[in-house]
Amino acid sequence: MSLDYTISHRLTAAQCNAQRELAPAQLVQQLIEIATCHADSLDFGFSRLQSLGILWVLSRISIKMDRYPQLLETYSITTWVESFNRHFSERNYLIADSAGRPIGYAHTVWMAINMRSRRPADLTVLGDLNRLVCDHPCPVETGALIRRPENPDRIHNYTFQVSDIDCNRHVNSARYVELVLNQMNLATFDTNLLRHFEIAYKHEAHCGDSVTVESQTDGDTVTTAIMAGDTPVCLARYTLTPRKPAPCGPCL
Amino acid sequence: MSLDYTISHRLTAAQCNAQRELAPAQLVQQLIEIATCHADSLDFGFSRLQSLGILWVLSRISIKMDRYPQLLETYSITTWVESFNRHFSERNYLIADSAGRPIGYAHTVWMAINMRSRRPADLTVLGDLNRLVCDHPCPVETGALIRRPENPDRIHNYTFQVSDIDCNRHVNSARYVELVLNQMNLATFDTNLLRHFEIAYKHEAHCGDSVTVESQTDGDTVTTAIMAGDTPVCLARYTLTPRKPAPCGPCL
């Protein structure tokens, strides 16, 4: 039994951003998707947990990319489980080019919650999951706690709409990533690579909820909070690295 | 040589909307994607046209669905060309369940434009394209002209953001569909099926452009205009049909 799981992708135009690269939110979507497929294949996925009244909830993502897959490029995502404990599971990812060379890594933390109480659930009912742990190296970890910016330099308001809602009636995890990055303009991403991106999901938001998106830039690091009043919905931190060689401009 | 082209999909959670169905905007994305693949395979796609300084631009979509593919359902989209003339091509689609039974159809109009002047281009440089036309029936056509609502009952403002922009630096065609449907609330789509949806793309919008989204409901028909000042960016019309049997509610 293989403990890792790989899906190949070819980046279509529809999945690209303005820089003709895999959009970070689309990457997050693909990380969630492959986690779901892998967990299902090893029988600790949504279906099995649902029968036990338990739900996997994504708690944290950390992504480090040397570069992003480009338009029409074939790339792969490989995932494996780093650890389990009573309430959490850590899962790693390798993003590789068509020759299998690493172009990025990701680390995620998933929490098991009780479907009804929304409180942490006990994963030990699934038996010993440690046999599913894989020791591939992954050079990206969950960083320090992300705090709400104290002196935000960009603040926008947003109300969640029908198109932001996922099949669980909450705001889509990838949509938060878009809101975080939408604090910047196109020129920022034309001239900079989103090298390291971290997001912590704190509270679920619903259709019609209004939030404030607050960002603060300190050197090459930007910290962003999506706040519903005084409640953090999610907190993100990322670094921007100047692109080399030429920035990507309008094409076609 | 086959004149039609089919792609199979399995609807993942990430592509679903709150009703656990293929989101209409996602369907539009898939219609564009398969058109691109099909045109490329017959050598009248973006690559060949680009070498001639010509670009395909999506001008109009009309979709009629008996139902939408559901979470984890396998479905297929088949496309074929209905007609070519000097400036336009009409393309049809069949959306079918895993047994090949039709669940919906779509009709699109594509315009060839000169990349630099953005004016209509002459497709006759490609030779006789009529040999690529296929006479499969398609029971959905471009309807009457869609007009800007005269007495809108819902008006929202929106400014296009980084995440709305596609690889051609314009607003993503699917994103307009989301904006059109975001005029309504979740309950509307819980209790109604988006049975017939038409959108006409009029002018390209860019990152940072501010628009007004105006909707007017007349019986079961809603007309929506996305306006940049007095310039229509796109115009949409759709019908809502009460769902049978029970409306889809919160799950998991």
ipTM of the complex model: 0.92
How many residues appear in chain A? 252
Q: What does the pLDDT average to over A139-166?
A: 94
Interface A-B: count of C-beta contacts within 8 A = 116
- The pLDDT value given to residue B102: 97
Using 50, 70 and 90 to split pLDDT, how confident is the model at B233? very high
DSSP strand pairing (A154-159 vs A192-201):
unpaired
How far is the C-alpha of A234 from the C-alpha of B206, rounded, in Å? Answer: 28
- The pLDDT value given to residue B250: 52
Q: In this complex, which of B162, B167, B186 lies closest to A186 when CB atoms are compared?
A: B162
A243 contact B CB<8A: no
Residue A55, pLDDT above cutoff 70: yes
Q: Which chain A residue is nearest to residue B165, measuring alpha carbons?
A: A18
How far is the C-alpha of B121 from the C-alpha of A32, rounded, in Å? Answer: 42
Closest approach of A39 to chain B, Cα-based (Å):
14
Residue B71, pLDDT above cutoff 60: yes
- The pLDDT value given to residue B251: 46
B174 contact A CB<8A: yes
Using 50, 70 and 90 to split pLDDT, how confident is the model at B249? low
CB A210 within 8 A of CB A202: no
Closest approach of B157 to chain A, Cα-based (Å):
11
Give, to the nearest 10 degrees, the angle between helix B173-181 and helix B24-41.
160
Tokens of A168: 């669980």
What residues of chain A lie within 8 A of the CB of B252, using their CB? 50, 55, 115, 167-168
Q: Domains, chain A, ranges and CATH?
A: 1-142 (3.10.129.10), 144-252 (3.10.129.10)
Average pLDDT, chain A: 93
Q: How many CB atoms lie within 10 A of CB A92?
A: 23
For residue A102, cis peptide bond before it (omega within 30 degrees of 0): no
Using 50, 70 and 90 to split pLDDT, how confident is the model at B248? low
- The pLDDT value given to residue B78: 98
Q: Which residue has 């997050």 as its token pair?
A: A28
Q: Which chain A residue is nearest to residue B15, measuring alpha carbons?
A: A166
Q: What does the pLDDT average to over A160-189?
A: 96
Quick one: what percent of chain A has pLDDT higher than 90?
Answer: 79
Using 50, 70 and 90 to split pLDDT, how confident is the model at A237? very high
- Residue closest to A179 by CA, chosen among A155, A206, A162: A155
- The pLDDT value given to residue A252: 41
Using 50, 70 and 90 to split pLDDT, how confident is the model at A246? low
Q: Which chain A residue is nearest to residue B207, measuring alpha carbons?
A: A186
- The pLDDT value given to residue A46: 80
B134-146: b or e for each residue (b if 16 or more CB lie within 10 Å)?
A: eeeebebebeeeb
pLDDT tens digits for range B28-53: 999 999 999 999 898 888 888 888 99
pLDDT tens digits for range B170-214: 999 999 999 999 999 999 999 999 999 999 999 999 999 999 999
Average pLDDT, chain B: 93
- The pLDDT value given to residue A249: 53
Using 50, 70 and 90 to split pLDDT, how confident is the model at B252? very low
- The pLDDT value given to residue A2: 83
pLDDT tens digits for range A14-53: 889 999 999 999 999 999 999 999 998 988 888 888 889 9
A121 contact B CB<8A: no
Consecutive H or E run containing B82: strand B74-84
Q: What does the pLDDT average to over A69-89?
A: 95
B209 contact A CB<8A: no
Lowest mean pLDDT of A35-49, B9-23, B107-121, B219-233, name the range: A35-49
Q: Which residue has 């769902």 as its token pair?
A: B243
A192 contact B CB<8A: no
